[in-house]
Structure 1
Amino acid sequence: MLYGGIEAGGTKIVCAVADENQTILEQVSIPTTQPEETLAQVFQFFDQFSLDAMGIGSFGPIDIQTQSETYGYVLATPKKGWANYPFLPELKKRYDIPMAWTTDVNAAAYGELKLGAAKGKSSCIYLTVGTGIGAGVVIDGHVYQGIAHPEMGHIRVKRNPEDTYEGTCPYHKDCLEGLAAGPSLEQRTGIKGQNLSEDDPIWEMEADYIAQALMTYTLTLAPEKIILGGGVMNQQHLVEKIRRAFEKEMAGYVVTPPLEEYIVSWGLPNKSGILGCTLLAESLVS
């Protein structure tokens, strides 16, 4: 059996083929340019294989309602050329195989549950903090979705009284993404996040915003584990600061597992999404 995976991000699209052991046999990274140009390269890669199923985790927002006329479309994205684009229908025209369709962060959450930091659990939240902030949710072993997919990066958080930054989010300004995504660090300090010293006071503010979000997620969904990934999270000192801030915010109201086990770094760095996609493909035919 061969499973295809497409992890579609705003900057690049990762395509991979895995076998029945979820071993990646071939993988390619394609720049996300105009849809037709990008998909031509996607087709060139997958045409080499006889796939049994495919999983697609796309940047959003996307239409996940199977009865909708625009099911499988990318919706109101700021990515030029991709708004209201029939991503999944174009793939189905090319390949007559079962296809799973969800967001990139949902796919990553599924990958972490099956093979990563939440392996052995039945529920988890995966939060990625990078150029933007997004979260995926798995409950009872299945990717969660309702009338739409979760957009947990855009929840409101209580602004730090010393924070005068307007926020980067073009829709909400000072939502979680607007105040805590990577660009907000650089806009406040003039220094890229990876070049900031560990003792820079901005990190305490960053940790507080993320901890507020994690408290909200815990109070509403009560996952067995929360997993943190993305470029901003590639520094362990921030994870520790988030745990301390989370404990302070929660104030003992809800008992969680020990925080070093409950709030953790990703177990599949830079692979959660693509493996989640191939695993979702496998779930369609196994």
Structure 2
Amino acid sequence: MLAGVELGGTKVFVLRASGHTIQDREMIPTTTPAETLARAVAILERWHAETPFAAIGIGSFGPLRLDRRVPDFGVMLPTPKPGWAGADIFGTLTAPFDCPAAIDTDVNGAALAELRWGAGAQGDAPSDSLCYITIGTGVGGGFAFNGRTVHGAMHPEIGHIRVPRAAGDRFSGRCPFHGDCIEGLISGPALAERFGVPGHEINPADSRWDDVANDIAHLVSTILLSTAARQLLIGGGVGMGRPDLLDRVRKKVVAQLGGYLPYVDDDSIERIVGAPLLGDQAGPLGAVALAMDALEGRRIS
């Protein structure tokens, strides 16, 4: 039996699984660190008393300290989420349990799940490199290459990349750190500010969607050029909620790359840039994948 925690900016899923089949799941709202983590631990302790866990996997919103060699491993770094900077995510969730455990970003976990059981596992030749982008309250990106998630000094922070702006687009962005980085341009709150209405009320025919597609396409092009990922999946509430936007993005990616990458063209782009096959289960299954890695000794370093 494996335990998983997917810690998001608005809600938390606590789950237990047998293999990669989720058996039980409970949802709690993300409030303060003390309240949220205590409620998650209480669920885990109740389940652990019934059937002890073999391992725990944690996929959390970030930014996180993921270097096990430093004292603040598993701690939340400065974040726009009020009150969460400095929260000891890993230590609090794992302290009561004597079993292997792993922590990574929620998007890295989602990328790993898609690589193993989702879009990356389809066809006769499974993918060896996949990027998972989530566009919702924020913008995050996870990478799973050769069966492992990617990080070094930190984890990837693609949400804060700056991209070339569409001609005439004067929206200043709303990231508190960088203004018009990609998160400041295309996250759910940014879209609500840009269009002047909540996201679900934005008219699909509004011409400003073309500027949004331009921004996302430049992010996708940057990732393909810099990582050579075979697949790039766009998830999250914004990403999965507008299939027409994904079609616009694909066309713009092909145009922006201008034929430089020989494997990216009108015929291949739909296979390369798509929606997550696991849908909204990519995040929870990512926590399970991290627990499996902890059990097998593939720890974050």
TM-score (norm 1): 0.96
1:142 maps to: 148
Aligned residues: 284
1:263 maps to: 273
Q: Indicate the RMSD between aligned Cα atoms, in angstroms.
A: 1.2
- Given candidates 241, 248, 256, the residue that maps to 2:248 is 241
Alpha-carbon offset, residue 84 of structure 1: 0.9
Instruction: Name the aligned partner's letter for residue 279 of structure 2.
Output: P
Alpha-carbon offset, residue 192 of structure 1: 2.4
Instruction: Name the aligned partner's letter for residue 45 of structure 1.
Output: I
Runs of 4+ in 1 over 6 A off after TM superposition: none
- Given candidates 51, 54, 76, the residue that maps to 1:52 is 54
SS in 2 for 1:270: helix
- Given candidates 221, 224, 233, the residue that maps to 2:227 is 221
1:285 maps to: 295
2:100 maps to: 98
1:175 maps to: 181
Query: Hey, what's the Cα distance between the residues in 2 that align with 1:281 and 1:32?
Result: 22
1:39 maps to: 37
- Asked whether the 8 Å contact 2:80–2:176 carries over to 1, the reply is no
Matched, 1:29 2:32: no
Instruction: Name the aligned partner's letter for residue 243 of structure 2.
Output: Q
- Asked whether the 8 Å contact 1:11–1:32 carries over to 2, the reply is yes
Alpha-carbon offset, residue 240 of structure 1: 0.4
Query: Hey, what's the Cα distance between the residues in 1 that align with 2:258 and 2:200?
Result: 31
Structure 1: segments with no counterpart, 5+ residues = none
SS in 2 for 1:118: helix
Query: Hey, what's the Cα distance between the residues in 2 that align with 1:112 and 1:192?
Result: 30
Alpha-carbon offset, residue 79 of structure 1: 2.3
- Asked whether the 8 Å contact 2:101–2:295 carries over to 1, the reply is no
Query: Hey, what's the Cα distance between the residues in 2 that align with 1:259 and 1:158?
Result: 21
- Asked whether the 8 Å contact 2:40–2:93 carries over to 1, the reply is no
Query: Hey, what's the Cα distance between the residues in 2 that align with 1:205 and 1:157?
Result: 12
TM-score (norm 2): 0.91
What do residues 58-105 of structure 1 show as CA deviations (whole Å, max 9, x unaligned)? 111110111101011111123233211111112232111111111011
2:72 maps to: 70
Matched, 1:188 2:194: yes
Structure 2: segments with no counterpart, 5+ residues = 297-301
Query: Hey, what's the Cα distance between the residues in 1 that align with 2:150 and 2:262?
Result: 23
Instruction: Name the aligned partner's letter for residue 146 of structure 1.
Output: G
Alpha-carbon offset, residue 184 of structure 1: 2.0
What do residues 108-149 of structure 1 show as CA deviations (whole Å, max 9, x unaligned)? 111111111222211100001112111001111100001000
1:272 maps to: 282
What do residues 29-53 of structure 1 show as CA deviations (whole Å, max 9, x unaligned)? 1111122211221122111231110
Counterparts in 2 of 1:125 and 1:148: CA distance versus 1, 3 Å? same
Query: Hey, what's the Cα distance between the residues in 1 that align with 2:69 and 2:293?
Result: 21
- Asked whether the 8 Å contact 1:256–1:262 carries over to 2, the reply is no
2:82 maps to: 80
- Given candidates 248, 254, 267, the residue that maps to 2:261 is 254
- Given candidates 96, 114, 118, the residue that maps to 1:116 is 118
Query: Hey, what's the Cα distance between the residues in 2 that align with 1:92 and 1:281?
Result: 12
- Asked whether the 8 Å contact 1:194–1:232 carries over to 2, the reply is no
